[in-house]
Chain A
């Protein structure tokens, strides 16, 4: 059968790997914590900073606690994780993108005038809108 007798003993790690992983995780956690509590970053900057630290800690724990990628033989665990990661990314980012897009057209947050104004600004319709309005006024004026 296509299995590896030695796989069972391949990925235990050592005291050292757990200690290093533990210390690195503590550091990454504390840095993120201190950064936020002390307002080192705000808004998008904060998001990028803590996300980076979280992803780093993810890799630290994958490597030092879960011994990921260190299997002998075909790396099925690793490949399954990569594909799962891709799906996670698609579901989370995809949902955020889609829902944000849907929300854009939801009018419950604004009055009709506010909505018109925000669309005009967002879509860059400023010139056109004004000139049309001008044109109408001129025509009306002309009719009087």
Chain B
């Protein structure tokens, strides 16, 4: 029979061995998935690089973006990458309340980032510069929007994990899942470095 017929328990030693192996394999698999996400973003960057000058008579990147605004966004996300690191250190030291506080801060910073980004998008749409205005706008909205979608998924994941820590405490499964979440969150900040650089800074750079 190829499914469970009885409810045996394993010895503690075998269980620990299995957990360590499982964690390592899962973390590696998730890292491999993040590498595929990297190529996904690379394709979006390539598309932006090729199409960003095709404004169809509309304003260019430099004319559209407020640099101080973007700097605040960037700092929010960067700080959240730091605070999620703090949260994970607390998790590994089994300090539940401290971890939760750091996660709440991370969540809020991420939400601020996302809110500012949505506000910027909304502003552009109201200026008549939505994603269908030109190839430049399409590639801008898609590249930045895909990153924002990933952030949204990360926030959702973070919310669920915070709930589970409150409910179950710092269990083995929760530690493994939080490790993956922190990898994801750091990865998203790394991608943002390049969006900030190539979309916003280079957009604003003088020719």
Contacts and interface: CB of A to CB of B under 8 A. Distances in A.
B101 to A, nearest CB: 15
Interface string B80-104: 0110011011001000000000000
B82 A80 contact: no
A19 B85 CA distance: 10
Nearest to A95: B46
Interface stretch (B25-33, B115-123, B138-146): B25-33
A19 B39 CA distance: 29
A29 interface: yes
B158 to A, nearest CB: 16
A6 B16 CA distance: 12
Interface residues of B, number: 49
Interface stretch (B105-113, B128-136, B183-191): B183-191
Contact of B23 (A8, A41, A61): A8
B12 interface: no
Contact of A84 (B35, B45, B78): B35
Nearest to B50: A99
A42 interface: yes
The main secondary structure of chain A at its interface with chain B is: helix
Interface stretch (B149-157, B162-170, B196-204): B196-204
6 contacts: A12-B88, A19-B82, A54-B196, A61-B193, A80-B32, A88-B39
Interface of B: 17, 20-21, 23-25, 28, 31-32, 35-36, 38-39, 42-43, 45-47, 49-50, 67, 71, 74-75, 78-79, 81-82, 85-86, 88-89, 92, 183, 186-187, 189-190, 193-194, 196-198, 201-202, 204-207
- Which A-B residue pairs are the 9 nearest by beta carbons? A84-B35, A95-B46, A88-B42, A46-B205, A18-B85, A22-B82, A54-B197, A42-B206, A99-B50
Given A46-B206, A61-B189, A81-B31, 16 more contacts: A1-B21, A3-B20, A12-B89, A15-B89, A21-B82, A29-B193, A32-B197, A37-B67, A43-B205, A46-B201, A66-B183, A66-B186, A80-B32, A80-B35, A85-B38, A91-B43
